[in-house]
Homo-oligomer: A and B are copies of this chain.
Amino acid sequence: MLDACLNPAMASEITLQPVRRHGVDAAIFFSDIVVPLRLAGVEVDIAPGVGPVLAAPLRGRADVDRLIEGARTLDADRLAPVAEGVARTVAALGATPLIGFAGAPFTLAAYLVEGKPSRDHFGARRLMHADPGAWTALTEWVADIAGAFLRAQVLAGASAVQLFDSWAGSLTLADYSTHVAPASTRTLGHVRDLGVPIVHFGTGTGHLLAAMRDVGADVVGVDYRTPLDEASRTLGGRTPLQGNLDPALLAAPWPVLEAAVRDVVRRGAAAPAHVVNLGHGVPPDTDPAVLTRIVELVHSVR
Contacts and interface: CB of A to CB of B under 8 A. Distances in A.
A121 to B, nearest CB: 9
Nearest to A251: B130
Interface string A272-287: 0000000010010000
Chain A's interface size range is 35 or more
Contacts of A247: 122
A225 interface: yes
Interface in A116-148: 117, 119-120, 122, 125-126, 128-130
A256 B126 CA distance: 12
18 contacts: A117-B119, A120-B203, A120-B280, A126-B251, A129-B248, A129-B249, A129-B251, A130-B251, A169-B204, A169-B225, A170-B225, A171-B225, A172-B224, A174-B227, A175-B246, A206-B207, A207-B225, A207-B226
Interface of A: 117, 119-120, 122, 125-126, 128-130, 169-175, 203-204, 206-207, 224-227, 246-253, 256, 280, 283
Given A122-B283, A129-B256, A204-B204, 17 more contacts: A122-B247, A126-B248, A126-B250, A126-B251, A128-B248, A129-B248, A129-B249, A129-B252, A130-B251, A130-B252, A130-B253, A169-B204, A172-B224, A172-B227, A174-B227, A175-B246, A207-B226
